[in-house]
């Protein structure tokens, strides 16, 4: 069995952002030399997500508006977690979108449908944060 590990770093200029990280994960996979197995991509921070969806800017605006409706950022005082921090909404938003993705690796490639793209979802940005890529297989 082979294993591979890499951290990807991000620092967004806005509080919230969606970044397509598929090419970076594909680079990891090529570097790993693994041709059959599973690839875990997970947010190492609890106010960020890794998820799979469409790379379409209208949809990303819909996600932003929808998550703000389900778990609004403001007023900060509505959340018990806020005080020293102001990011309770980011913890909730990340819960909706998910922490991690597990992708199949088949024949040396991410085994995806035609529109599947991996995104880093940032909900409390403007600082350096990490995503873990762990691949196991052979």
CA distance 5 to 133: 6
Residue with tokens 């992708």: 103
CA distance 69 to 107: 41
Single out the segment in contact with its own copies by CB under 8 A; choices: 13-21, 22-30, 55-63. 55-63
Minimal distance, residue 58 CB to its own copies, in Å: 4
- State in Å, rounded, how far the first CA of the chain is from the last one: 5
Residue 60, SS3 per DSSP: helix
Q: Is 5 left (phi over 0), alpha (psi -120 to 50) or beta?
A: beta
Among 32, 101, 123, 124, binds its own copies (CB under 8 A): 101
Residue closer to its own copies by CB (options 2, 126) is: 2
Residue 15 engages its own copies in binding (rule: CB under 8 A): no
Residues that bind its own copies (CB under 8 A): 1, 3, 5, 36-38, 40, 42-46, 51-54, 56-59, 61-63, 66, 70-71, 79-83, 88, 91-92, 94-104, 106, 111-113, 115-116, 130, 132, 134, 136-138
């Amino acid at each position: 069995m082979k294993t591979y590990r890499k951290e990807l770093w991000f620092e967004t200029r806005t509080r919230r952002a969606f970044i397509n990280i598929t090419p970076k994960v594909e680079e990891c996979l090529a570097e790993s030399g693994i041709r059959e197995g599973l690839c875990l991509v997970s947010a190492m921070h609890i106010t960020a997500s890794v998820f799979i969806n469409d790379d379409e800017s209208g949809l990303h605006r819909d996600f932003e508006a929808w998550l703000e409706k389900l778990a609004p950022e403001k007023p900060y005082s509505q959340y018990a977690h806020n005080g020293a921090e102001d990011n309770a909404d980011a913890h909730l938003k990340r819960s909706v979108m998910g922490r991690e993705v597990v992708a199949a690796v088949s024949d040396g490639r991410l085994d995806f449908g035609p529109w599947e793209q991996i995104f880093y979802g940032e909900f409390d940005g403007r600082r350096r944060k990490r995503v873990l890529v762990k691949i196991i297989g052979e």
